[in-house]
Amino acid sequence: MSPRILSLLAPLLALPQALPAQVPAGDAPITAADLRPHIDSLASDAFEGRQPATPGEALTTNYLSRALAARGVEPAGPDGSWLQPVAIVERGVGRHETRWVANGRRIAVADEALVLTSRDPRARIASAPVVFAGHGAVMPDRGIDQLAGADFRGAVALVLYEGPAVDGFPSFQQRIAALAEAGAVAVIGITAPDLPFAQVRRAATQGAVALDGGPLPAAYGVISWDAAMALFEGAGRDLQAMLNEQPGSSFRSVSLPVRAGIDVMTEVRRYTTNNVVGRIRGSAGGGESVLLLGHWDHVGICRPEGAPDRICNGAVDNASGMATLVEAAGRLGAGARPQRDILILATTAEEIGLLGAEHFARNPVVPSGSIVAAVNVDTAAIHPAGMPVAMIGGTAEMRAVAGRVASGLGRHLDADQEADLLAERQDGWALVRNGIPAMMAGGSFSDMRLLVAFLNGAYHGPDDEASDSLELAGAAEDATLLVALARAFADPAAYQPAAR
């Protein structure tokens, strides 16, 4: 589970024990004893909290690929490997100097009125032309191309940072990418007059972590509205008037009579980490897949030297999900062959922004569009057996199938939608925003009291470890549900995805 503060706070209540669920003939139910050894290994101190690009990564990916291979799963990464490399870049806060000149006269722009980051450790841009690109939006399906009308090669592009609330309007990040592809060496967003710039600066001091690669200009960032107004004025232009002259989507880029010099230095750290990807071949041979996933990574050594326990072991978050995935793969690999292929994905870098899942969604190892359903497993071991099944995300078609499958196992369905609070904090979100239908289904999200007790307790701390008190009865029941769900989603007669 990726971090975000949840404001709910409620006491942990005792819950009634329920009868064990029934399972269909064929798949033996997954038990707590099946799950336990995986959690004991993955959450042991030897794995050092499974932080990407640490020794714990290799231990973890080796463990998972061996466990999957032993259960009849084949590697499905590039070149027959279990590993799909994911390139990550971390950038600190940039330090910058800028120089703006119009008609041979320097226009003063205070350093504090800008936040700039360089793509590489240093960006030096000398006397570049400056172009105002409106929002810098390109939306071919709507006939919008605000970059038309100017040459961006070698230019500093100024754009309005906030986009209008229009469906499908490109994000600032997407507009930066489009401008970089058009040749811009820097893209600077002008923040709205009502956005306190001190807040923007504060947000930027945290630095940023992202997938590496893709088009980026040498430098990018934001400038305050007031500083941008002054800059335009210094060049003999009126920012507001220019917007009024070309309202809305009709805007065409305008060159400003300004040259810009920009020098930015940023601490940049690049590294590669890995998703683990496997496949169980289906009998249908239609090229369609069902994806079962969970994140293997956790937050690593999380306390300073000298602390009594320095390792955040991540037993619940998410060794429990890995144990579930491995044992579910075992049942699917050993029992009746599923019809559609089953892909097994253990993602990296979930804790720093769902980055492994995002990379996979952009680079699925199968043709895009052939993954008919994905089920994510995260934070599976906090509840006893007998909890209702809560669902997060999923299309109406998926939820209908999941409801039938859960009921068939004797499980009740959660009546409220509280679990949706977590929708954006789990890997399925990265899949959904890239067009892959994804859901979670299980008991660990159906009682907010249990979940909040965990989030306010051991979550992301040294106490999330493989102690004897780990509650695995509910996790086992949910793992059995996952096997049945995978079989149903893999059966074309039981499930067809919504038309896309």
Binding positions for Zn ion, rule: CB under 5 A: 1, 317, 351
Which 8-state DSSP code applies to residue 317?
Answer: I
CB of 64 to Zn ion, least distance (A): 17
State how far the Cα of 253 lies from the Cα of 175, in Å rounded to an integer: 13
Bridge partner residues of 106 (DSSP) = 101
Bridge partner residues of 205 (DSSP) = none
Q: Strands 254-265 and 95-102, how do they pair?
A: antiparallel
- CB atoms inside a 10 Å sphere around CB 447: 24
Residue whose CB is less far from Zn ion, 315 or 448: 315
Question: What is the 3-state secondary structure of 3-55?
Answer: CCCCCCCCCCCCCCCCCCCCCCCCCCCCCHHHHHHHHHHHCCHHHCCCCCCCH
How far is CA 138 from each of CA 147, 163, 249, rounded to the nearest angstrom?
Answer: 7, 12, 10
CB of 298 to Zn ion, least distance (A): 7
CB of 304 to Zn ion, least distance (A): 20
- The answer to whether 405 and 481 are in contact (CB under 8 A) is yes
Rg from Cα positions in the chain: 26
Q: In 3D, which of 429, 473, 440, 446 has the Cα closest to residue 390?
A: 446
CB of 316 to Zn ion, least distance (A): 9
Residue whose CB is less far from Zn ion, 42 or 184: 42
Buried b (16+ CB within 10 A) or exposed e, 323-356: bbbbbbbbbbbeeeebbbbbbbbbbbbbbbbbbb
State how far the Cα of 165 lies from the Cα of 397, in Å rounded to an integer: 29
Backbone angles phi, psi at 266, to 5 degrees: -135, 140
Which tokens belong to 182? 């058009």
Residue whose CB is less far from Zn ion, 317 or 471: 317
CB of 318 to Zn ion, least distance (A): 7
Residue whose CB is less far from Zn ion, 280 or 355: 355
CB of 30 to Zn ion, least distance (A): 23
Residue whose CB is less far from Zn ion, 39 or 402: 39
Residue whose CB is less far from Zn ion, 282 or 300: 300
Give the CB-side neighbour count of residue 190, counting CA atoms within 13 A. 23
Residue whose CB is less far from Zn ion, 341 or 351: 351
CB of 297 to Zn ion, least distance (A): 9
Residue whose CB is less far from Zn ion, 23 or 458: 458
Q: In 3D, which of 194, 116, 196, 107 has the Cα closest to residue 156?
A: 116
CB of 43 to Zn ion, least distance (A): 13
CB of 484 to Zn ion, least distance (A): 26
CB of 1 to Zn ion, least distance (A): 4
Number of residues in the chain: 500
CB of 491 to Zn ion, least distance (A): 33
Give the CB-side neighbour count of residue 174, counting CA atoms within 13 A. 10
Residue whose CB is less far from Zn ion, 351 or 465: 351
Residue whose CB is less far from Zn ion, 34 or 378: 378
Residue whose CB is less far from Zn ion, 1 or 231: 1
Which tokens belong to 116? 């700039």
DSSP for 191-226 reads: PPTTS-HHHHHHHHTT-EEEE--S---SEEEEE-HH
